[in-house]
Chain A
Amino acid sequence: MHLDPFELYRPSTVEEVVRLTRDLGAACDVLAGGTDLLPNYKMHINLKPNLVALEEVEELRSYTLERVGSMTRLADLDRDTDFARAYPGVAAAVHEVATPLVRERATVGGNLLVETRCFFFNQTFPWRQSLGFCLKADGDRCHVVPQKERCYATFSGDLAPALAAVDASVELAGPDGRRTIPVLDLYDPGGDGIRRHRLRPNEIVVAVSFPAASRGLPANYQKLRIRPTFDFPELGLAAAGLVESGTVRSLAIAAGGLETYPRRFDEVTRPLVGERLNETNRNAASEAIMRSVRPVHNTFLAPDYRRRMVGVYVRRALDRLANGPPGVPG
């Protein structure tokens, strides 16, 4: 499959990236590892005439345990045992992304902004054309939830829930300067589902940063998919927290792979802080989270099954935080 022509820019500083993307406006995409963008371009999905590659920008490639540049390759994080000790849940999620060959090029920033997925969207141009294009690319209606206003494509990045569970932030740079926001504020639960993020025009992700309290916090990540390699999450459940002699000191649970955006379930986990964890409140929490999610039928596994697995994974996640060694990967 050949790509349509585009202009390619390879700036070397964040400031140059911002200037370029501002000048090019909506007619450009930024290119990180390309493992999500290039397959979509090959399938003629939402092509832009300009690409701004981030790979030459030194600042984006640098990383420490406090601050991970957006162009950090997932394979580098995966090989880093210090990172796994510091953030076991995030490391487990990194390890579950795609395949080792993809992870050599895939980046952290690209993972946070990975395009949402749907049966009717991740298809070649002729496939989509033969059925009639959908709202998210080239058309005006949704084939999953028939209407013309909102897209229900599924957020399928593995890192966002794991980062959200440990209160990580993202540092952004744009025409108005730099700002830092909580990871989940990147996503727009109130949006139309077509645009998958809340970045301001021409803003890019510079880095992910971790609060000191998240270092070494017990955490885990469980991923539901058909094959234990290659496949995107049909559910990704991240949990992080401290349970001391049965009493919950801190707790956060977040999920991806279910809806158009990743979510945290603070309304369920907050009341558990200070409580002793037992089968009753564990099951009640898992039930409450399961009831609050609304997957639709646009991925491989049936929505009802994915919802039920939310319940199973929440129970397992809590058991692991209570009993297990930290960060045993799901």
Chain B
Amino acid sequence: MRSMSPPRPLRLTLNDRPVETSCPNERILLDLLREDLNLTGTKRGCDLGTCGCCTVWIDGRATLSCLTLARSTEGHSVTTIEGVSPATGLNPVQKAFVERGATQCGFCTPGFIMTATALLRDHPHPSRSEITEAIAGNLCRCTGYTKIIEAIESAASGDR
């Protein structure tokens, strides 16, 4: 068995709901989400900051759960891919990804959706270069990015 420090209480807001849990100091947010809280939509790609598959929002900012200590989220708000859809159906970015074929194996998709949804929330009408700039921390090994960029553009223009 791997040794762990004793679990400590952790309170955060997760997908708009207050959550009380506990975890050891060395728990990484990605592991807390996937292994302790069963939120497996957030993916583990590289585990080192070099792929963007693990993107979540912390206080609304898209960032990497693999490089964040779970305990750093004490008192903060975390949003995962499970928390960005309306009560039924998909959000406009998700819909556009489906309709435009912006997903192939799908492993990178939750990360892209988190990044793109945050982008359109802050900049509802981004230029193409603002889009490519915003997704510069998310890697996709399948699509070649064209369809991803088109999907984000189409979600922004409401043209689907």
Contacts and interface: CB of A to CB of B under 8 A. Distances in A.
Chain B: interface size category: 20 to 34
Interface stretch (B1-9, B14-22, B93-101): B1-9
B133 A35 contact: no
Contacts of B2: 2
A98 B24 contact: no
User: Counting chain A CB atoms within 10 Å of each CB, which of B31, B63, B68 scores highest?
Assistant: B63
A105 B67 contact: yes
* Interface residue SS majority, chain A: loop
A102 B67 contact: yes
A39 B48 contact: yes
Contacts of B3: 4-5
A6 B48 contact: no
Nearest to A79: B122
Interface string A100-114: 111011000000000
B137 A102 contact: yes
A98 B137 CA distance: 8
A13 interface: no
Interface in B36-54: 47-50, 52
B26 A3 contact: yes
B64 A101 contact: yes
A228 B136 CA distance: 9
A230 B49 CA distance: 9
Interface string A209-248: 0000000000000000000111000000000000000000
B72 A55 contact: yes
A106 to B, nearest CB: 9
A105 B26 contact: no
A109 to B, nearest CB: 16
Contacts of B80: none
A35 B25 CA distance: 17
Given A1-B47, A53-B72, A230 B137 contact: yes
A132 interface: no
A5 B137 CA distance: 29
Given A6-B26, A101-B55, A38 B69 contact: yes
Given A34-B67, A105-B63, A7 B49 contact: no
Nearest to A43: B48
Nearest to B30: A1
A104 B67 contact: no
A3 B48 CA distance: 12
Nearest to A38: B67
Contacts of A55: 72
A105 B69 contact: no
Contact of A34 (B52, B61, B69, B136): B69
27 contacts: A2-B26, A2-B31, A5-B3, A5-B24, A5-B25, A6-B25, A7-B25, A10-B71, A34-B68, A34-B72, A35-B67, A39-B48, A39-B49, A39-B67, A51-B25, A55-B72, A98-B49, A99-B52, A100-B62, A101-B55, A101-B63, A101-B137, A102-B49, A102-B64, A104-B58, A104-B61, A105-B68
Interface of B: 2-5, 24-26, 28, 31, 47-50, 52, 55, 58, 61-64, 67-69, 71-72, 115, 133-134, 136-138
Interface of A: 1-8, 10, 31, 33-35, 38-39, 42-43, 51, 53, 55, 75, 98-102, 104-105, 228-230
